[in-house]
Structure 1
């Protein structure tokens, strides 16, 4: 009941504020893939008043694209204004899972998002440089991508969030084009084992990365999120884990992003005060 009240109050506060976030779609060249990647950028209303802003990289899900978040959850524009954040939404390709595919050189989205895009943003936008000014969030395939990239690139991101994330790919060997990126599970099981988030927790040490994970109880990824939560507890890795009613859909993600971005904003404030 309290969560419902807080969410209602949050929207009441938003409704009484005038927002003017600037949304743009740009083409970011990827040297590793030798092509331009469409990317949405959201700049807060006070962009001209400060020198640097923390940045959230926001990843879409399978079959989605760079415009999903801004079109289907437009509240992110209001959140960018409210918390004075830059939000960057790259195109992750159709079923890339944000890997550098070992079997398809046309898919090098780990390199693009965690190196090329970050470099572009730091050169072209007024970002707060360093991991203390960067977070990454994603839904579904993008939830996997956000944790996968952050676990592997803790020098780049200081915080990571997954909503409805496919955090263990192994139970789904025939789904969502994963076999096209890793080869079939039957013939390439080692690649699947090496590239699933739940098997990367050994890269973490307590406090090395701020982590938030959430999933709806009616989501087909609910069980694997529970397993990841339990594994993080076993390894003594601090993290925030939120479970609430909901399925694998935009009504759930539109609500979830309120909590995710609030979490990231708290991380940014803490990191800035510590610097």
Structure 2
């Protein structure tokens, strides 16, 4: 497993204790732990320059889905174990961080937005803020379209014929990972979501991805509303991409929610 990570921190990080944002990339061969650095308008380092937060951007595989797969034919690809059991401990052991609930946020784009929503629910006490930029929160809607896409993409890009959820599905795994089935786990967290309303009709990838994301986020928001769980949501023009203005707004909200440096 490629366990590459990037860490952005303030120049005086050795003299202060900081909250941490774990920030996840999307899926595809053009996505990796440096994706958030390569975005327009300077990317994550420009957007957090001078702000009191450490940003950790780990690798998650081309189609790892922030999960331990049912099977892999390319060696260990246990991204969930790496991130939750190893990475968090390593960061807290090597940087001046608040190693606690109010000291950590998790966010991501696309597949990484799903991973953030999944981890925030599945590991409730780890993260006080969760953000999904064009991230799908529902694995089972539309005949389990996102769960099927996780399987199909992982077969080709990560697992050499293995799958994330198995064929047929390991239903217990799907349910354990599905944010829609764990609405109550978002209570007392800051929840931030963005989805596009006008994906490019001539680009099947953009159209299919963001159409599913938008419908899933609306379903998820309705679940949060029924449970009386506050959340911040935005529907913006365009399709499946990170919007710098939304990312900056999110970062400021994360810093306001977490324990101060």
Normalising by the residue count of structure 1, what TM-score does the alignment of the two structures yield?
A: 0.77
Which structure has more relative contact order (CA 8 Å, sep 6+)? It is 2
How much is the aligned-residue C-alpha RMSD, in angstroms?
A: 2.2
Equivalent in 42, 57, 61 of residue 8 of structure 2? 42
- Aligned-pair CA distance for 1:120: 0.6
Equivalent in 214, 219, 222 of residue 227 of structure 1? 219
SS of 1:149's equivalent?
helix
User: What stretches of structure 1 of length at least 5 have no aligned partner?
Assistant: 1-34
CA distance in 2, matches of 1:173, 1:156: 24
State whether structure 2 residue 197 is matched by structure 1 residue 217.
yes
- Aligned-pair CA distance for 1:117: 0.7
Q: CA deviation digits over 1:229-256, x for unaligned, max 9?
A: 111111111211122212102xx43332
2:68 aligned residue = 100
2:54 aligned residue = 86
1:182 aligned residue = 165
Map 1:38-77 → 2, pairs under 5 A: 38-48=4-14, 50-63=15-28, 64-73=31-40, 74-77=42-45
CA distance in 2, matches of 1:39, 1:201: 30
CA distance in 2, matches of 1:36, 1:171: 28
User: What stretches of structure 2 of length at least 5 have no aligned partner?
Assistant: 156-162, 199-209
CA distance in 2, matches of 1:173, 1:167: 11
- Aligned-pair CA distance for 1:72: 2.3
Map 1:140-155 → 2, pairs under 5 A: 140-155=110-125
CA distance in 2, matches of 1:200, 1:174: 20
2:243 aligned residue = 253
Alpha-carbon distance change, 190 to 129 in structure 1, aligned in 2, over 3 angstroms: closer
Number of aligned residues? 231
- Aligned-pair CA distance for 1:178: 5.3
- Aligned-pair CA distance for 1:217: 1.2
Moved over 4 A (4+): none
1:9 aligned residue = none
Conserved in 1, the CA contact under 8 Å of 2:2 and 2:59? no
CA distance in 1, matches of 2:232, 2:185: 18
CA distance in 2, matches of 1:178, 1:192: 15
Structure 1 or 2: more strand by fraction: 1
- Aligned-pair CA distance for 1:183: 1.2
Does 222-231 or 97-106 show the bigger shift?
A: 97-106
- Aligned-pair CA distance for 1:173: 4.8
State whether structure 2 residue 126 is matched by structure 1 residue 160.
no
CA distance in 1, matches of 2:38, 2:134: 19
- Aligned-pair CA distance for 1:106: 1.9
Alpha-carbon distance change, 261 to 238 in structure 1, aligned in 2, over 3 angstroms: same
1:25 aligned residue = none
